[in-house]
Structure 1
Amino acid sequence: MDRLATLDLFVRIVDRGSFSAAAAACGVSRPVATAAIKALEHRLGTRLLHRSTRHVQPTVEGAAYYRRCVAILADLEDADRSASGAVAGLLRADVVGRMARMIVLPALPDFLARHPALTVHLGEGERFVDLVREGVDCVVRAGRLPDSDMIVRPLGVMDEVTVASPDYLARHGTPATPDELEGHQMIGFVSSRTGQALPLEFTRGEEVIEVSLPARLLVSGADMSAAAARLGFGLAQAPRYGFAQDLANGTLIEVLPDFLPTPTPLSVLYPSNRQLSARVRVFVDWLVDLIGPRLQSGAPEL
């Protein structure tokens, strides 16, 4: 391997904590990757990585070398962009729930037309993603985020709504206040961070009321929650934009409209220990321009 490819390999090994994962990402075999790093350490005259059967992590010298390599590779990418005027390469992004299909995907052709040398690997998920280890460049996530070393760019907040099917309300009654929820059931939305079902939230003036109802069904995705609500499994809460069509055609009915759930913040995150590459920068800026104004204006399509 040439020196530049070896630097890229070394950075990927540190990022993912694995020779095998880094080798696969670089399109080489594990033995080739091992030989390249051994040759690099021999040339530098120092050990860069601590190796164990389960994990690989940098030595003190390796951590310092890693930071320089990240900066060099990012500078090279920027230099290539300046010379060619194009953003190129593969960008991996993961977008929460329905937003990937309802908001990002329809607008993506215009973005790709502006950057014809860029390829986007777009994932859709709710779970917490270890960006560095999984090789993901950035993610869009909803909710209050745990402390981490990620850089967070707020996109805005999403209005939430409580819904149920007409059949469910016919069987259980329509509550007028949160105090009348006894005897009701909720569709338990399981947090990917805690593994526990989130309580329902309602606001009464400045007060936030949390209510945990019995849940015969637990789900971990927005689409499953919406489908379960339509089938009458119980009360569900989610961003209003995801239920807009159901509310319009009567498939679902808004419940307790005077006690709205707390709005949900929406953010885009990317690693702080990596110099921001040109392709990530343009994609994040595009997301801010695409999603932010819709959240601020409360546009009906969102």
Structure 2
Amino acid sequence: MSRLSLNQWTTRRWSVAEAVEGCVRHGVGAIGLWRQDVAAQGLDETVKLVADAGLRVSSLCRGGFLTSGDREALDDNRRAIDEAATLGAACLVMVVGGLPGVTPGEPSPAVDRDLAGARERVAGALAELVPYAAERGVRLALEPLHPMYCADRAVLSTLGQALDLAEPYPAERVGVVVDTFHVWWDPQVLAQIARAGDRIASYQVCDHLHPLPADVLLGRGVMGDGVIDFAPLTRAVAEAGYTGDIEVEIFNADVWAADPDEVLARVKARFAELIER
């Protein structure tokens, strides 16, 4: 379990303090944090809780939502960078945003359908944010999302697109997230993982359920409950040179409703069976 990290939303019922205590209780050495939960706990209090528990912060989620091109989004990302620096997070996960005018989970009567333009605005925002992050020692991690989220959450749909966007910057400044739920389907994924090399800033694992629920955001399952073959993906990430934490991130209504201690025990068992083997 030395590399297992609990993404906080896998046990969403837990506060930051409860998740930290759960990691300690179950022998998990790292935690992935979410900004709104850190804010609820208090940033300074979270820093103290994590340090006192001897945990690593594998990631802070999330920055991004940059496709509108407005200054407010850039300012919020600067705040996210500051928070990641204070927490000593290994990376700030960047979910870049969908088409302007589309709000996740809500009707969108006024949509900007210029997908190429949205991607150009992400590139422009990244050019502004990278120097700010570099000054604070924060690594930005671009996360491509499954194409079904292109309209509302991420106009980056493949690992190759994320790597193209990261390429102008040093690998220690801009990396990528390899999330099994989002990339398993891509026929080029193994080649792109090899291409990524030291740009891999985070490896996140969960399963892709079939059939998906009505709310496709909640279609993630515990490893082994869905359709993903984890062995080739995990092997490719290792061969690319990634030695960091492996974060389990699950969005699932049934998992969230279950006892978090039971969830974490199940996650550990499947991690040992399917990821660490």
**TM-score scaled to structure 2, two decimals?**
0.24
Greater strand share, structure number: 1
Bigger Rg over Cα: 1
TM superposition score normalised by structure 1? 0.23
